[in-house]
Amino acid sequence: MRINKEGYKIICISGAVCVFIFWLIYHLLVSDSNISLLWVSAVLLLLFWFFIVAFFRDPRRVRIHDADLVFSPCDGRVVVTEVVKETEYLNEEMLQISIFMSVTNVHMNWVPVGGTVEYFKYHPGRFLVAWHPKSSTEYERTTTVVRMASGRKVLFRQIAGLIARRIISYMKVGEPVEQNSVCGFIKFGSRVDVLVPKDSELLVEIGDPVVGSQTPIARLHKI
């Protein structure tokens, strides 16, 4: 199993903490009469550490290219599909598809379309449940707009939730990006919004599970 580079530090720190806790239990709490406590503690600490390691897994996935399709930028489940007025940059009605990631999902993020990064901004904000309707405008988030070769623009947001407290984005204005390449990481549960042109064909429904860089969520109208 490959590990994403964003997890190296947390995995090392959590491993050291688990070893220290085990040492405390061994030297302060365990006696001959309750040796079973040592084994239970060891199992629980190992399970916790393996969960941290698994959270930062970096799956091997085939990179798909299709200029007519918008792919899911993350693993998770569709929680919103609606037409909204985008006011931060595009200032037009867009079809919004929101995907919620639980703590058990892979938390890498992928670019849903290929093109050039036209706009990027980090927004500090609140930390509440990621499925809240105001998460797109009030929570800590990043906004990225990719201009495709056809001239069409797709916007996506990384949104921090109640547990997720750090958003990492590799996007830089003016740089070309390849469809389904890695664009960032959100630590410990969150949400991603994708806004596509209003006339796009929706390919998913609320409740559908999606796989980042593999599941098409919308088909763009041909110009």
DSSP letter at 187 equals S
Looking at residue 40, its pLDDT comes to 85
User: Among 69, 8, 53, which Cα is nearest to 214's?
Assistant: 69
Length of the chain: 223
Tokens of 31: 């006696």
d(CA 46, CA 27): 18
Is 190 a catalytic site residue? yes
128-175, pLDDT tens digit by residue? Answer: 554 455 544 556 889 999 999 999 999 999 988 655 457 889 999 999
Looking at residue 160, its pLDDT comes to 81
User: Where are any strands of DSSP class E within the chain?
Assistant: 69-71, 76-86, 92-101, 108-110, 115-123, 141-147, 153-160, 167-169, 176-177, 182-186, 190-197, 201-202, 209-210, 216-219
* Bridge partners for 57 per DSSP: 3
80-127, pLDDT tens digit by residue? Answer: 999 999 999 999 999 999 999 888 888 889 999 999 999 999 988 655
d(CA 24, CA 29): 7
CB atoms near residue 191 (< 10 Å): 27
d(CA 108, CA 56): 8
d(CA 207, CA 157): 19
Looking at residue 7, its pLDDT comes to 73
Q: Could you tell me whether strands 92-101 and 76-86 are parallel, antiparallel, or unpaired per DSSP bridges?
A: antiparallel
| Percentage above 70 pLDDT, the chain | 87
User: In terms of pLDDT, which residue wins out, 35 or 183?
Assistant: 183
Kindly name the residue from 41, 72, 98, 190 that is annotated as catalytic: 190
